[in-house]
Amino acid sequence: MSTSTNPTPRSIVPKELAGKWIAWNAVGGAIIANGASLVAVISEAKRLGEPNASFEKVPPADARLVGIAR
C-alpha cells in the first residue's frame, strides 16, 4: 500500500474563468463547474455527482498576486 502525501497537481485555470467561482473534482485535478455565484457552482457540482468538490474564487484577470520566493 502506498501512502503519498503529495496532493494531485491542479490544472491551470483558463483566463476565461477570471473573476468566477470554480469547483474542482474530489481529487483536485479537474475543474467541473464554474459560475458567477458560489451557490450556483455548488448546485452544479452536486448535480454532476461530485459531493466532495472543493470551491475557489478565481482572481480577476487584472489582479496582481505578489509574493516572495525563499
What is the residue type of 14? P
The whole model's pTM is what? 0.76
Band of pLDDT at residue 3, cut at 50, 70 and 90: low
Q: Which amino acid is at 38?
A: L
16 vs 5, more confident: 16
Q: Which tens digit of pLDDT belongs to each residue from 17-70?
A: 999 999 999 998 899 999 999 999 999 999 999 999 999 999 998 877 677 777
